Amino acid sequence: VYRYDEYDARLVHERVEQFRDQVQRRLAGEITEDEFKPLRLQNGLYMQLHAYMLRVAIPYGLLSSTQLRMLAHIARIYDRGYGHFSTRQNIQYNWPRLVDVPDLLADLAKVEMHAIQTSGNCIRNVTSDHLAGVARDEIEDPRAYCEIIRQWSTFHPEFGFLPRKFKIAVTGAPADRAAVRFHDIGIRIVKNAAGERGFEIWVGGGLGRTPRIGQVCGEHVPHRHLLSYLEAILRVYNRFGRRDNKFKARIKILVGALGIDEFRRQVEEEWLQIRDGVIALTDDEVTRVASFFSAPPYRALPEQDARLAGKKLSPDRAFARWIDANVALHKRPGYAIVFVSLKPHGRPPGDISADQMDAVAELADRFSFGEIRSTHDQNLVLADVEIGDLEAVWKRLHELGLAQPNIGRATDMISCPGLDYCSLANARSIPVAQRIAQRLDDDDRLARIGTVSIKISGCINACGHHHIGNLGILGIDKDGEEHYQLTLGGAPGDDAAIGKIVGPAFSSADIVDAVANALDLYLEQRLSPTERFLEFYRRVGDKPFKERLYA
Amino acid sequence: VVLWVEMSSFVLTGNATVDGRPLWRDADGGWTHDVRGAVLFTSEDARARALEQAHREQAVVCDPYFAAAERVDGEVRPATLKERIRATGPTVSHPT
């Protein structure tokens, strides 16, 4: 985990004290809500239906156990005993009182955390592959570059008032687990034909009311020019992005209007002027930052892939199912990656109690070098667990209600907070997720269905990423009643696709049947168990689904 | 005509500055956290005056606005699902 230097610490401390003063002035009536709103948003504080909501940044999803314990403390002292992990690897608290927020932020600062860059029209908290540093397919650990981008973007004087919010994701592996094609800028570490590493820079991706798959702007940007290339993109966007229309203000609209070739030409014209300036990265600086993410002191263990595979046949079926669904191969012999499911059936996706946070921190200390990752799928990861410790970890997670064997499966749903909390929503999301999970509450059936994603948004802003769910659900208001559009075929990764609406929206009562019927159709007609839902859909198209769902 | 009268009644609401909890204007000119104690506004003049006054109370309430509401079985009830959820809280439970 990156550790603050004196500049980081001072910046965050000063920001807390500034905000404390601003809150006092707001409570005293010295400043209006219109004057206060941009100030609170710059500190991650929103107003939702029932209360303020504070979004705390978890840079690239990486947490120490000390930080997770502080998040638990904050849930207990300042909120209602729980937190909600978001689709951008952050955590949200739904019930903080304004009067308490300065003390809350001061507590966060004690563990080198804050709520900066989690709101407003700035460069938001950078996200990454939740398997960074432990994935077998990785070309290079992306976290050093994530941290360099974080330092460059935090309080960047040019980019504090962009036309609209701006999201960056970085991955160092060929398999895209960070949805880089759906970010304003997506960065992939790649090798060229000569074997040299560089950055493939995607621009103009995004979800919301105008979903777009990004396009490649820079094919192989050298390491030393990463920041200057990003700065050139931001400058073109900052100059020409639409400030006159909030709904056309994201970079995807500018890229679409100019065309990728003209956009690239403008970026590279700007880049030529700044590429060798003060933000050129030196090897020493990259090495210095990378040292914070060096491998933990692994034990020398024999390769045990077969032993891990054997655990899937354990006579304890609950343990075997968990190994099969929630444990992944690690690059280091004798170690495994454990997913902590925050999707127990019937519970709000992404929610976790303070006691559960403390317990996961304890597990991380005992079994995973004191580190935890959050995923954009709203789960947690213990990235470095010895294979011999898996049963002990499972038993504890099982006691905690965090061992639902469903990672990557139908009930591992992404859901936005929806109309239960969000002032923008048109329909509820969480209750739909809960009813689907209850309907599919059969671990063996879930295993038969296999890899499939269901993503639910309560409005067109698409915080639940419904466009890129294999099955996507969008809540709409139809004559005052909640209805749900179903889309099929979306995918976030290397086979990126935006889902297609299958037909007329379903009532709240009928949407669960529609999902179950779509999965039944797949089970009945797939070529074999190795044909995944998405592959099946791409092979057969909409027609059989329309016939089944609207019969 | 009855429908028109019902759709033309509103509650004045906003969120409390101190903690964000929903507030509704009550019959005494104060604020209540219970929508059942809200006063219904039916005339445009009264609404304009009430909103102007609410904007002067920003230390207490944020972003006041009118939401359609009606009286059902003697109790004030917001007209939309969003406002009803806002009045009664999330329909899902928290982890414990």
CB interface of B with A, residues 67-96, below 8 Å: 80-82, 85-86, 89-92, 94-96
B6 pLDDT tier (thresholds 50, 70, 90) = very low
Give the chain B residue whose CA is nearest to the CA of A82: B95
The full 3-state SS of A262-287, as one line of letters, equals: HHHHHHHHHHHHHCCCCCCCCHHHHH
The sign of the CA dihedral A159, A162, A165, A168 is negative
Q: Which pLDDT does position B8 carry in this prediction?
A: 87
pLDDT beneath 50: ranges in chain A:
none
Q: Tens of pLDDT along A185-213? A: 999 999 999 999 999 999 999 999 999 99
What b/e sequence results for A198-235 when a residue is b if at least 16 CB atoms lie within 10 Å of its CB, and e otherwise?
Answer: bbbbbbbbbbbeebbbbbebbebbebbbbbbbbbbbbb
Q: Tens of pLDDT along B53-95? A: 999 999 999 999 999 999 999 999 999 999 999 999 999 988 8
The sign of the CA dihedral A439, A440, A442, A443 is negative
Task: Indicate the helix (H) or strand (E) that contains A482.
Answer: strand A481-488
C-alpha distance from A212 to closest chain B C-alpha (Å): 29
d(CA A352, CA A322): 19
Q: Which pLDDT does position A339 carry in this prediction?
A: 98
Q: Which pLDDT does position B96 carry in this prediction?
A: 75
Give the chain A residue whose CA is nearest to the CA of B19: A97
B7 pLDDT tier (thresholds 50, 70, 90) = low
B81/A98 touch (CB, cutoff 8 Å), yes or no: no
Q: Which pLDDT does position B5 carry in this prediction?
A: 43
Give the chain B residue whose CA is nearest to the CA of A27: B59
d(CA A287, CA A132): 17
Q: Which pLDDT does position B1 carry in this prediction?
A: 40
d(CA A56, CA A100): 15
Q: Which pLDDT does position A526 carry in this prediction?
A: 98
Strand order in the sheet with A215-221: A127-128, A168-171, A185-191, A197-203, A215-221
| Other CB atoms within 10 Å distance of the CB of residue A423 | 15
d(CA A120, CA A1): 26
Chain B residues inside the 8 Å CB shell of A32: 58
Q: Tens of pLDDT along A380-413? A: 999 999 999 999 999 999 999 999 999 999 999 9
Predicted structure pTM score: 0.96
Does position B3 have pLDDT exceeding 50, yes or no? no
Interface probe with A: pick from B70, B92, B93, most Cβ of A within 10 Å: B92
